[in-house]
């Protein structure tokens, strides 16, 4: 059976980008047709300045949202990364496989380290080693498929390179994973700045739809989205990024094709209104289920506890095999 792994970082409130680019497919596709594990990757939230209480809160909130979005603990495994030691155990072996040069070439490292320096913060060493821990997350489970948005492509490529290199040096240990992406909305853009990604922690939030935004807030954000100076509705990411973004969001919400949808609209206003309605409808059940689950954190914690046990069972043999393969003496 195909093994699937993916993760989400609790560095901010989850966005429509996270949902359309990744989580929705985990729910609708991956958990049904593979042995799938989904993790709130809290260790990754420590690579930039962080507030401990906030990370803890956002970790539980992210897990609650994943369940509210429809991940079913009877079909898949939902857990918190730091509850399973195998991730950090394997990460060190992969640090001994990766090179300094290839980590410094990572786009997200370049961007995030520049951001940190610009705001006077020091760059944590873990920001550089981040993709190695991510590779460990994936490889520890013998993962075949990694359903992610477009921004994670380079990290998954590095993971493949490390797996191939490790296998060549020390004998076959890891499956070679591949990234899978949604047909549309693999890169949802910021509504106020459609040339940059809708990220969790970008700006004031005017261009970001959060999964827990109230319907009227969602409508306002979408209706105020920056479009272009023209008036014709065309699907052209290069020349009309704002309109293309709305078309992709609308298409993703209704499983339609953004190019075909473009022909159905004579004005930006109508497109915005339908997009706002579609997003509100897609998020409605999620918000409702979140409210129920959030009232019972004990239930979420129980799911996470069982998830960590299942994850550990799957990861331990793979990581133990990697320890043996690389030349470490078994503890006996
Ligand atoms: P993170 O937490 O930034 O995002 C979680 C998932 O959401 C996708 N995503 C988007 N997709 C489309 N449009 C957007 N605007 C958008 N923003 C985010 C991301 O591509 C991702 O799939 N490094 C990862 C977390 C991670 C991970 C892993 C993922 C750690 N270990 C192992 C997969 C496998 C990250 O920062 O995702």
ipTM of the complex: 0.99
Distance from residue 138's CA to the centre of ligand 1 (Å): 13
Distance from residue 81's CA to the centre of ligand 1 (Å): 14
% of the chain at pLDDT higher than 70: 99
Query: Any binding-site annotation on 106?
Result: no
Query: Any binding-site annotation on 227?
Result: no
Active site residues: 112, 197, 200
**177-186, 192-201, 295-304: least confident range:** 192-201
pLDDT of residue 100: 97
Q: Which fold has domain 215-291?
A: Tyrosyl-Transfer RNA Synthetase (1.10.240)
Length of the chain counted residue by residue = 332
Query: Any binding-site annotation on 201?
Result: yes
Beta-bridge partner residues of 79: 39
Confidence band for 232, pLDDT divided at 50, 70 and 90: confident
User: Which numbered atom of ligand 1 lies nearest the CA of 9?
Assistant: 2
Distance from residue 65's CA to the centre of ligand 1 (Å): 15
Report in angstroms the alpha-carbon separations of 178 from 29, 31, 107, 250, 301.
16, 17, 19, 27, 31
Give me Rg for the CA atoms of the chain.
20
Q: Where in the chain is the domain with CATH 1.10.240.10?
A: 215-291
Mutate to test the pocket of ligand 1, among 3, 4, 5, 9 (most ligand atoms within 8 A of CB): 9
pLDDT of residue 136: 99
Mutate to test the pocket of ligand 1, among 15, 22, 78 (most ligand atoms within 8 A of CB): 22
Please say if the pLDDT value at position 125 is more than 90. yes
Confidence band for 202, pLDDT divided at 50, 70 and 90: low
Which token pair is 17?
A: 């980008």
Please say if the pLDDT value at position 309 is more than 60. yes
Whether residue 43 contacts residue 10, with contact meaning beta carbons closer than 8 Å, is answered with no
Q: Which fold has domain 3-181+296-326?
A: Rossmann fold (3.40.50)
Does the beta carbon of 152 sit less than 6 angstroms from any atom of ligand 1? Answer: yes
Distance from residue 7's CA to the centre of ligand 1 (Å): 7
Does the beta carbon of 149 sit less than 6 angstroms from any atom of ligand 1? Answer: yes
pLDDT of residue 205: 87
% of the chain at pLDDT higher than 90: 93
DSSP code, position 152: G
Query: Any binding-site annotation on 18?
Result: yes
Q: Where in the chain is the domain with CATH 3.40.50.620?
A: 3-181+296-326
**Average pLDDT of the residues in 150-164:** 97
pLDDT digits (tens, 9 = 90+) for 37-79: 999 999 999 999 899 999 999 999 999 999 999 999 999 999 9
pLDDT digits (tens, 9 = 90+) for 254-293: 989 999 999 999 999 999 999 999 999 999 999 999 999 9
- Nearest CA residue ID for atom 36, ligand 1: 9
**Average pLDDT of the residues in 309-332:** 96
Whether residue 210 contacts residue 162, with contact meaning beta carbons closer than 8 Å, is answered with no
Whether residue 139 contacts residue 318, with contact meaning beta carbons closer than 8 Å, is answered with yes
pLDDT of residue 203: 63
Task: Provide the mean pLDDT of the chain.
Answer: 96
pLDDT of residue 201: 67
pLDDT of residue 215: 97
Whether residue 129 contacts residue 103, with contact meaning beta carbons closer than 8 Å, is answered with yes
Does the beta carbon of 137 sit less than 6 angstroms from any atom of ligand 1? Answer: yes
Containing H/E element for 145? strand 145-147
- Nearest CA residue ID for atom 19, ligand 1: 149
pLDDT of residue 332: 76
């Amino acid at each position: 059976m195909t093994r699937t792994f993916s993760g989400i970082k609790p560095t901010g409130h989850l966005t429509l980008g996270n949902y359309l680019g990744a989580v929705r497919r985990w729910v609708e596709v991956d958990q049904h047709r593979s042995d799938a594990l989904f993790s709130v990757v809290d260790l990754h939230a420590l690579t930039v300045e962080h507030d401990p209480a906030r990370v803890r809160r956002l970790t539980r909130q992210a897990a609650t949202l994943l369940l509210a979005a429809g991940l079913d603990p009877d079909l898949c495994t939902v857990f918190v990364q730091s509850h399973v030691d195998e991730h950090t155990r394997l990460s060190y072996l992969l640090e001994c496989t990766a090179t300094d040069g290839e980590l410094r070439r990572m786009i997200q490292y370049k961007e995030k380290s520049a951001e940190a320096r610009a705001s006077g913060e020091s760059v944590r060493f873990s920001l550089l080693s981040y993709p190695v821990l991510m590779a460990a997350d994936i490889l520890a489970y013998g993962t075949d498929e990694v359903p992610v948005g477009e921004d994670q492509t380079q990290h998954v490529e590095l993971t493949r390179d490390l797996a191939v290199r490790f296998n060549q040096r020390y004998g076959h240990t890891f499956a070679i994973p591949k990234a899978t992406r949604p047909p549309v909305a693999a890169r949802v853009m910021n509504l106020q700045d459609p040339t940059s990604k809708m990220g969790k922690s970008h700006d004031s939030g005017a261009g970001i739809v959060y999964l827990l935004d109230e319907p009227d807030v969602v409508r306002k954000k979408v209706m105020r989205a920056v479009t272009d100076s023209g008036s014709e509705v065309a699907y052209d990411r290069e020349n009309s990024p704002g309109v293309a973004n709305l078309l992709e969001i609308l298409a993703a919400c209704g499983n339609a094709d953004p190019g075909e949808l473009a022909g159905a609209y004579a004005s930006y206003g109508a497109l915005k209104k339908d997009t706002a309605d579609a997003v509100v409808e897609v998020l409605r059940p999620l918000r409702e289920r979140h409210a129920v689950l959030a009232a019972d954190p004990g239930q979420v914690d129980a799911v996470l506890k069982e998830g960590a046990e299942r994850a550990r069972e799957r990861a331990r043999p793979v990581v133990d095999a990697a320890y043996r393969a690389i030349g470490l003496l078994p503890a006996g």
